Amino acid sequence: MASELTRIAASLRRSPVYVTPSMASALPAPERLLQAIRSAPVPVFAVIVPLVAGGAWPDAEHLADAVHGRMRRDGVYLTLDEGSSNEIAAREYGVDRDSIDAAGAVNLDPAMDSASLTDRLTRCVELITSGRAHAVYQEQSDALDRRIRNESPGGGGHSLAYGLGGGAAVAVAAVAGLLVWRQRRVPRPRPALTGARTTAELRERAEAELVRLGEALEDKPDDTPGLREALDAYSAAGKALDAARTVPDLAGVLVLVDMGGDAAGGQEPTPLCFFNPLHGDGPVAVRWRAVGGRERLTVRACGACARAVRARKTPDVLRDGATPYYEVDPARSVWATTGYGQIRGDLVQRVLRGDLRRA
Ligand SMILES: [Zn+2]
């Protein structure tokens, strides 16, 4: 990959924005970005190339170090962040402009979620120029804290009203909206805290979704691609529902129903949020390391959880009692073992062969 590094450095000496040809469409109208960079008080370089695990540049740090080493010019180097093609990473060499905070502020800002990469990078450079990057990052971080608190068991006001384990109440309420937003395939609206309020009602909803999946599969022609996998997931969901005693168990039913729907739907499967499947879809890939774990995993999460992880905060995790579900002894929980199917791909097979209740 030395040749690409040479090409990047040569290009950056002519213009401070390098976009690999295959990603040119990801950076529409880069003139605004160039304008912002020209107004910046320090040299800023943007290097937009894909980061691939196991590749020459597995993460932003390797890429920025390599390009800076070849360029031998100090300044701010902006790249994509590994794990997400829409997040920005920043490294500084020989300058001090709070650039990492500037990138963090853009990544944390919900208002930037649907902005183009050009707009996001431009905003990042403007923050670097303004000298307010740290303050703005802090504001975004505090706002995220408040959002997490409002959604977390025990932290906000809502869950206490139901006199349940707070996690269950929030969880149950979230499920009310699950099916609707899945079908529309639009960004998930904040679930209204109405609808099901007890574990029994969560069970009812899981049952209803299972029935709906069964009916949808019945109507499919026998030669539908993925039908076999879908039927396996459906059987596993039924088995999981029969054995379900807790909110994490019922969340597992919903995960399996979702897998069944994805398998028969012919779409690219979208897993539910790794941290709490009751949040709905997990469209954002995020790198995450479990407490005490050595491995960094890429998991799919909802926007709020992804943002929390990137800000090094604890997301609104689904708990089994007081313990995050994934920290439960794997010998006792197929959900912990598989991360609801995101850490290991054989969740359906494990459930079908009876891994549900070995405790
Ligand atoms: Zn989530």
Question: Of 180, 175, 212, 178, whose CA–CA distance to 197 is shortest?
Answer: 175
Distance of CA 280 from the midpoint of ligand 1 (Å): 7
Q: What is the span of the domain harbouring residue 32? A: 2-144
DSSP letter (8 states) at residue 53: T
Q: How far is CA 150 from the centre of its chain?
A: 19
CA angle 262, 225, 188 (to 5 degrees): 15
Residue 286's pLDDT is 87
Distance of CA 302 from the midpoint of ligand 1 (Å): 4
Residue 257's pLDDT is 95
Question: How many domains does the chain divide into?
Answer: 2
- 168 and 140 in one domain? no
Distance of CA 35 from the midpoint of ligand 1 (Å): 37
Distance of CA 150 from the midpoint of ligand 1 (Å): 13
Residue 52's pLDDT is 80
Distance of CA 332 from the midpoint of ligand 1 (Å): 23
Residue 178's pLDDT is 42
- 292 and 242 in one domain? yes
Q: CATH number for the domain including 62?
A: 3.10.310
Mean pLDDT per segment of 10 residues, for the chain of length 359 residues? Answer: 85 96 90 96 95 81 93 95 80 92 90 91 97 91 76 39 37 42 32 48 90 92 91 96 92 95 82 92 84 78 88 88 90 93 93 79
Q: How far is CA 19 from the centre of its chain?
A: 25
Residue 188's pLDDT is 32
Instruction: Indicate whether 156 belongs to any domain.
Output: no
Distance of CA 275 from the midpoint of ligand 1 (Å): 5
Instruction: Indicate whether 152 belongs to any domain.
Output: no
Distance of CA 279 from the midpoint of ligand 1 (Å): 5
DSSP letter (8 states) at residue 272: B
Residue 2's pLDDT is 59
- 183 and 135 in one domain? no
Instruction: Indicate whether 157 belongs to any domain.
Output: no
- 137 and 205 in one domain? no
- 319 and 171 in one domain? yes
- 220 and 125 in one domain? no
Distance of CA 74 from the midpoint of ligand 1 (Å): 38
Residue 191's pLDDT is 36
- One-letter identity of residue 193: L
- 261 and 184 in one domain? yes
- One-letter identity of residue 234: Y
0.75 exceeded by pTM: no
